[in-house]
Structure formats: C-alpha cells, structure tokens
Amino acid sequence: MLEQIAAIVKEAGEIVLSAHDIAAHTHEKSSAADLVTEYDLAVENFLKEKLPPLVPGAIFYGEEEQENADPATGWAFIVDPIDGTTNFVRGLRQSAVSVALAKDGVIEYGVVLDPYKAELFSARRGGGAFLNGSLIHVSDRPLSQGVFGMGTAIYRREYLAPTMRLTEQLFRRSCDFRRMGAAALDLCNVACGRTELFFEYSLCPWDYAAGSLLVTEAGGVISTLDGQPLAFDRRCSCWASNQVNRDILRELDIR
Ligand code: IPD
Ligand code: CA
Ligand code: CA
C-alpha cells in the first residue's frame, strides 16, 4: 500500500514541477493570504481519481474539496495537494504533496513529497519512517543547540500574539528558528532531524496528517499545544518534537 501511494504521489509531484506562469493561474479564496492555483486543483483532482480505488470504500478528504463524510470514521485519504501554496506561487520551491491514509481516525500510512528536492518521506504505522527509502530518526539535540520551525497560523490571526510570544521564548533557548511555509515539510524536518521542534497554533488535518506519522515513526512526539492527541476531523494546534525537548512545553507560556 505504501509503495502504491508513493507512486501516485510521485506522479502528482510531476504536475507541481510542470507548473508555469503560476501567477496567471492563481485565485484568491478568502483573502490575499489565502490562495489557490489551478495546479492545486489539478493535483487534487488527480489524487482524487487515483487514490480511492486503492482502498474500496475509502473517502477522500482533500483541502480543496472535502467529501461530506467524516474522515475519522472508516478509511480516509487525507490530502493536501500542494502544501505551501504561497511558496509555490512565489517560486520559493518549498512546497509538498501530502497524503495520509487513516483508519477510524488513526493514521496508518503517510507520504510527503518535496518535488523540488526529489525527497519522498514515507511511513507506515509501526514500520518506521523513511526518506527516499533510508530510515530516518529525529535528532538528539537539545534546543540550546538546536533550530526550531514554526508557522504563523495565517488564517487565524487571533493567534498572532501567542505565536510571537512562544517564538520569542523558544528563540531565547535555541540557536535560531525558521518559518518555511509548508507545515507538512516542517514536520518531516523534525522527523529527519534537520530541526528539533515545530509548532503552529492552528492547522488543518491535511497539513499534518501524513507528517504526524512521519514524526512518531521517526521516534518523535506530536500533540496539540495543550498536550492532547491531534484531531483529524477538525483544525487544531500542533507541537512536534524530538525526545530531548518533549517536555519543554511545560515550562513555556502558550497563552
Ligand atoms: C499552509 C502552510 C503554512 C501554514 C499554514 C497552512 P497551504 O498550507 O502549511 O506553512 O502556516 O497554516 O495553511 O495553505 O499552503 O496548503
Ligand atoms: Ca497546507
Ligand atoms: Ca494546500
């Protein structure tokens, strides 16, 4: 199953790489910060055609079109066709195709592709996490020697102040931080030890479904900022970490 999903995701990556004149194919959704391109729709339509036949009865829960069904019941593909759309529109080449397959709200398979670096992150629950077929593991660096990633919860501006407060607290304890603009890749960066931590105050299931399995299968931890399990049928916050820094959140003000 993992190989079959990965093969389809790689084909979807070709659509991302084929993109040209992206600005002319971009539309605003709710605001200038909330964009969709014709490539997001093309990738999603491609995945919607190819993935469900792999698992009869599975629903398709994609960012651009959520079927009127509960992704926390039965089999569900949870899909972000292009995570990092703003990066994509601006030619920053830091975007991903993210596909998870969940059963009854538990992620069983996760695949995240960075088509620009030709990096395919994949995991099966209980089977370890891989980057282009090689086993990956979270880092063992303490935050004092580490770098963390964060996201700005762009669609929920009410989280601006707590986001900046938490960023400042972590920055004071770390070497540096990054705001890369694609949450699925932010989680994969924790999984393969390129960063030590990642947080964002509000994300959608398609942003973190696949990446969350990468983190846990790579030996890391992931939860909401208040320590609850992630939800896959609604938005929530995200806190991903290696083992060394897993309890640091208790010492921080997250309000
Ligand atoms: C966004 C990216 C971004 C994160 C936003 C997400 P999109 O996804 O993952 O890094 O900060 O919260 O919505 O809209 O580019 O698929
Ligand atoms: Ca996304
Ligand atoms: Ca997206």
Tens of pLDDT, residue by residue over 68-117, are 678 889 999 999 999 999 999 999 999 999 999 999 999 999 999 999 99
- Torsions phi, psi of 62, nearest 5? -110, 160
Instruction: Determine the pLDDT at residue 68.
Output: 65
The predicted pLDDT at position 115 comes to 98
d(CA 101, CA 99): 7
Position 42 confidence tier, pLDDT thresholds 50, 70, 90? very high
- What's the pLDDT band for 34 if we cut at 50, 70, 90? confident
Give residue 30's pLDDT band: very low, low, confident or very high (50, 70, 90): confident
Considering only CA atoms, which residue is closest to atom 11 of ligand 1? 151
pLDDT category at 67 given cuts 50, 70, 90 is low
- Confidence check: pLDDT of 39 > 90: yes
* Residue 180 Cα: closest atom of ligand 1: 10
Count the helices and strands in the chain (H runs, E runs).
6, 14
**Residue 207, ligand 1, Cβ within 6 A:** yes
Q: pLDDT class for 35, splitting at 50, 70, 90?
A: confident
In this structure, the number of other CB atoms found within 10 A of the CB of residue 86 comes to 17
Q: How many angstroms does the Cα of residue 104 sit away from the middle of ligand 3?
A: 23
- Find out whether 34 and 143 touch, Cβ atoms under 8 Å: no
Distance 152 CA to ligand 1 centre (A): 9
Looking at residue 144, its pLDDT comes to: 97
**Mean pLDDT in the chain?**
95
- List residues bridging with 80 in a β-sheet: 98
Q: What is the mean pLDDT of residues 208-237?
A: 97
Confidence class of residue 213 from pLDDT cuts 50, 70 and 90? very high
Q: What is the rounded average pLDDT of the residues 35-51?
A: 94
Question: Which atom, in ligand 1's list, is nearest to the CA of 206?
Answer: 16
**Cα angle at 56 between 54 and 57, to 5 degrees?**
130
Residue 121: pLDDT over 90: yes
Confidence of residue 36 (pLDDT cuts 50, 70, 90): confident
Only one residue has tokens 């084909």, namely 11
Is residue 139 within 8 A of residue 107, CB to CB? The reply is no
Ligand 1 atom at minimal distance to the Cα of residue 63: 16
